[in-house]
Amino acid sequence: MTGGIERAACIGGGVIGSGWAARFALNGIDVSLYDPGPDAGSVVQAAMVNAERAFNRLFGNARPAPGALSIAGSLAEAVDGAGFIQESVPERLDLKQRVLREIDAAAGADTLIASSTSGLLPSVLQTGLKHPERLLVGHPFNPVYLLPLVEVVAGRDTAPEAVERAGGFYRSLGMKPLAVRKEIDAFIADRLQEALWREALWLVHDGVATVGEIDDAIRYSFGLRWAQMGVFQTYRLAGGEAGMRHFMEQFGPCLAWPWTKLTHVPELDDALVDAIAEQSDRQAEGLSVRDLERARDDNLIGILEALERRGPAGWGAGALLSEARQRMRERSSG
């Protein structure tokens, strides 16, 4: 049902690691989580509360009983008996390498190890492992229990069979594994996001717009488009009947003007960080992070269900949700 995996380990219990733990558990998989920090238990419990709320809305009772979620006292204890290991420790190469070597030493030789890294290369992460062939990147998006994409990236020593098994496992969780063809820093989605993010930081830095105005510019325009079609399909339609080639001819030259701050990275000095943090507080209008997470989750559920309602085949993420409902129902009665 879940690629034969009944027990998974999560190493690292921050926002991403906890999101994975919740997604695993709510798909009926037992989860053992290890995080050396003092708050690990409370972060993952909070993620579970949000995720259960979301799954109740999406699937009601037509879903399998949740797997057991336990907090392990050590990495070795978490990994023991796990059929799949997801590493989500902070984004520091030395730390990731050290933790992955510990996992490699403690785990059975054919247990898959996926790193949640946002951009480090799997070839670098697998350096020095005894069994590098079972290490790959499985990069998810917050909230992990709701968003479908997971970028699957193989390193130089990753076995093709590992990529295939990981893809099957992620699909069994209702996700959309995207195999990244070439190893490249930050893969696909985060390269795209970082390009936009850098420009957004410049706009705040230069006093062109506040964080609230930038967010409005996104969510009232192209954000709505990109929830259902990406940038290329969207621009295909901007070309009208003449299509993509016409669009490229018409707007290509703008790229060279250019319309963005190409060559510089804004320095994240105190003044800029202060401005962003303060504007972000104002934008939140007194809502706590928990309030905002629930608003976001309810919005995402509404959007996913709207795409699902679009027809028997669904559209993008809507089709995935249809399939997930079907699978959940089967597992609940099985």
- Enumerate residues 95-134 that contact its own copies by CB under 8 A: 118-119
**Two structure tokens written together for 148:** 């479908």
Tell whether residue 65 is a contact of its own copies (CB under 8 A).
no
Of 109, 220, 333, 334, the one binding its own copies by CB under 8 A: 220
Contact pick of 57, 98, 156, 309 for its own copies (by CB under 8 A):
309
- The rounded distance, in Å, linking the Cα atoms of 317 and 332 is 22
The minimum distance between CB 121 and its own copies, in angstroms, equals 11
User: Whole-angstrom Cα distance, residue 115 to residue 166?
Assistant: 11
Rg (CA), the chain: 21
From residue 28 to residue 47, the character string flagging contacts with its own copies as x (rule: CB under 8 A) and all else as - is ---------------x----
The amino acid occupying position 217 is: A
Give the interface size with its own copies as a residue count (CB under 8 A): 121
Closest CA to 259 of 189, 190, 195, 216: 195
Would you state the structure tokens that stand for residue 316, as one six-digit string? 């993008």
91 vs 164 by CB, closer to its own copies: 91
For 104-130, give the DSSP string.
HHHS-TT-EEEE--SS--HHHHTTT-S
The piece of 105-113, 130-138, 157-165, 221-229 that touches its own copies (CB under 8 A) is 221-229
Enter the tokens of residue 298. Answer: 């309810």
Sheet holding 112-115, edge to edge: 69-71, 30-34, 7-11, 84-87, 112-115, 135-139, 149-154, 176-179
Q: Does 260 bind its own copies (CB under 8 A)?
A: yes
Shortest spacing between CB 106 and its own copies, in angstroms: 27
Query: Could you give the CA distance from residue 141 to residue 149 in angstroms, rounded to a whole number?
Result: 7
- Minimal distance in Å, beta carbon 214 to its own copies? 6
The piece of 2-10, 51-59, 122-130, 205-213 that touches its own copies (CB under 8 A) is 205-213
Per-residue binder mask for its own copies (CB under 8 A), 128-167, x = binder: -------------xx----xxx-x----------------
Shortest CB 254 distance to its own copies, Å: 7
Q: Tell me which of 49, 62, 76, 189 binds its own copies, using CB under 8 A.
A: 189
Q: Reply yes or no: is the peptide bond before residue 90 cis, omega within 30 of 0.
A: no
Residues 147, 153: contact at Cβ < 8 Å? no
Three-class SS state of 30: strand
In three-state secondary structure terms, 153 is strand
- CA torsion through residues 202, 205, 208, 214, sign: positive
Instruction: Determine which residue in the list 236, 325, 329, 331 makes contact with its own copies, applying CB under 8 A.
Output: 236
For the CB of residue 250, give the shortest distance to its own copies in the complex, in Å. 7
Smallest gap, in angstroms, from Cβ of residue 277 to its own copies? 5
CB-nearer residue toward its own copies: 76 or 248? 248
Binding mask 266-305 for its own copies (x = CB under 8 A): x-x----x--xx-xxx-xx----xx-xx-xx-xxx-xxxx
Closest CB 196 distance from its own copies, rounded Å: 5
Please report whether residue 205 would count as binding its own copies according to CB under 8 A.
Answer: no
Distance CA 147, CA 252 (A): 32
Residue 67 token pair: 């797997």
166-185 binders of its own copies (CB under 8 A): 176, 178, 180-182, 184-185
